[in-house]
Chains A and B, each alone.
Chain A
Amino acid sequence: MLDNSIKSLATKTDQKKFIVKNLKHSFIGNDGEYVDVIDNISFSVKEKEFISIVGPSGCGKSTILNLMSGLLKPNSGNILLDGKVLNKITPRIGYISQSDSLLPWRTVLSNVELGMEIRKVPEKSRRKRALELIRQADLEGFENSYPYQLSGGMRKRVDIIKVLAVEPEIIFMDEPFASLDVFTREMLQRYILNLWQTTKQTIIFITHDLTEAITLSDRVIILTKRPTTIKYEYNIDLARPRSPEELRFNPEFIQLHKSIWEDLKNEVEM
């Protein structure tokens, strides 16, 4: 009996959340010719897994997320979410992009409430939840500030809790910290790590920063340049909970970083 329940639990956590099969995609470029962006990519993401996708710039990392979120229709290949073909936008996925997508005419509080408003959550409960998230993100006192009055790091945190507010099972992050300074970035990495440690969503994180990818994830997928395929996959078995500042001096981390960097370098070099 007990055995069985453990087994079912195990299969559940091992369950594949996303399956990407033979994905191909091309765009029509400025000269009217087809540009192959993604050339046959297959991978899967387990439930509650934190994976990072790393690749040289312009390799179509964002395109993969756009395909996986149902924003774009792939030219060929399949994307399965929980075994079902994904063919439209689903509210189960929260999407945090590089550019901040706060509504400038809304205060912090009402930006955080936006997603719940769209889902017609009653005003009282959405207010309560938004205030709770604002408190957790250390943004107390800024509830009624407008985005232009916040720093870049604060804006990003609002952007993150805005997505968290609707409790998505899966979170996509498309180079969320690319435009931030080193200190803010490290602070936000810590924030994301803590968050994931407690809530355990499935996270797909896109970055061009290898250190960031290793620090955060369970698995790192390295892409080639365009037309993009998967070059390597690495399991990152570093102990959790992790701390970005301590990891940097961890010999295991340094070794891992070095070997992945060697592989990636060949891809970046001309």
Chain B
Amino acid sequence: MKDNTNKLYNNTKDVMIRVTAFFVLLALWEAFVLLGILNPFYTSQPSRIFQDLLEFYKSGDLIKHTSITVQEALWGLFIGSILGIIVGFILGLSNILAKIFEPIITGLYGIPKLALAPIFVLWFGLGIESKIIMSSMLVFFLVFFNTYGGIKDVDRNIITSVRLMGASQTQIVLKVILPACTPWILAGIRGGLGASLIGAIVGEYMGASAGLGWMISYSTSFFQVDRVMTCILILFFIGVIFNMILKNVERVLLKWRPPTDYGETF
């Protein structure tokens, strides 16, 4: 019990420090503008961003654009992760298929995928589809390589011992390989979180009619830096929230792992 309250206390302390640091940075920004060191025409300033945020919200545009970008990113994350896990498992479990396709996938991975964004817009249109495809492609590679690496890394002793207990291939996959890979898959998805937002935003830069990326590109062309910064602030919070959710999922799924924190050292 004491342990728990201590943990809670430490957690709140951490959060407080983070929030304080965030506000200190904002205050410095504001101060630099007031002192004339930064030109608000280029950098905007927190007080104006806050005002713009309220305006953005009141007009109903904030919800509209944010939900579009979040939708694109989440669909991208979902589709990319599922495909990455499936292909990772297929190649991880079949040596023949791995020999054929692994070099191809590695080769494709070498292409700067953001360079494909314009052609995706041409192929799949200005709607959210082209962004979802962009985003899922970025996520796919990250999750695929992690899943594949995870399968190759599963402890052979454990597999042998379970085989000796009479387990079928399906049972080995479900009871050993899948849980053993979970930390790897989650690490891939964690990287995929950021990638999915990048895919959505860059896709919107290239051609869209809505979304935060579109908003940023549109506002920049009219020198509305306040709005650009507002959008970036929103993206920042989306990232924070995504990460928080994933961290909690990890905590539940990986509670069997020894803690990395062994207490205080001298």
Contact = CB atoms under 8 A, between A and B. Distances in A.
Do A and B originate from a single complex? Answer: yes
Interface of A: 69, 71, 89-91, 93-95, 97, 99, 101, 103-107, 114-115, 117-119, 146-149, 163, 166
B175 A119 contact: no
A117 B114 CA distance: 47
Given A89-B166, A118-B162, A119-B166, A101 B256 contact: no
28 contacts: A69-B164, A91-B166, A93-B164, A94-B164, A94-B165, A97-B157, A101-B158, A101-B160, A101-B161, A103-B158, A103-B162, A103-B175, A105-B180, A105-B182, A107-B256, A114-B162, A114-B165, A115-B165, A118-B171, A118-B175, A119-B166, A146-B255, A147-B256, A148-B256, A148-B257, A148-B258, A149-B258, A163-B165
Main secondary structure on chain A at its contact with chain B?
Answer: loop
B116 interface: no
Interface in B64-95: none
Given A97-B157, A114-B175, A118-B167, A104 B256 contact: yes
Interface of B: 157-158, 160-167, 171, 175-176, 179-180, 182, 255-258
B137 to A, nearest CB: 31
Contacts of B157: 97, 99, 101
Contacts of A69: 164
Contacts of B256: 104-107, 146-148
Pairs A-B, 5 closest by C-beta atoms: A101-B161, A91-B166, A148-B258, A105-B256, A95-B164
Main secondary structure on chain B at its contact with chain A?
Answer: helix
A148 B260 CA distance: 12
B22 to A, nearest CB: 36
Contacts of B179: 103, 105
Nearest to A100: B157
A151 to B, nearest CB: 13
A103 B175 CA distance: 9
A118 to B, nearest CB: 5
B176 A71 contact: no
A266 B30 CA distance: 85
B44 to A, nearest CB: 48
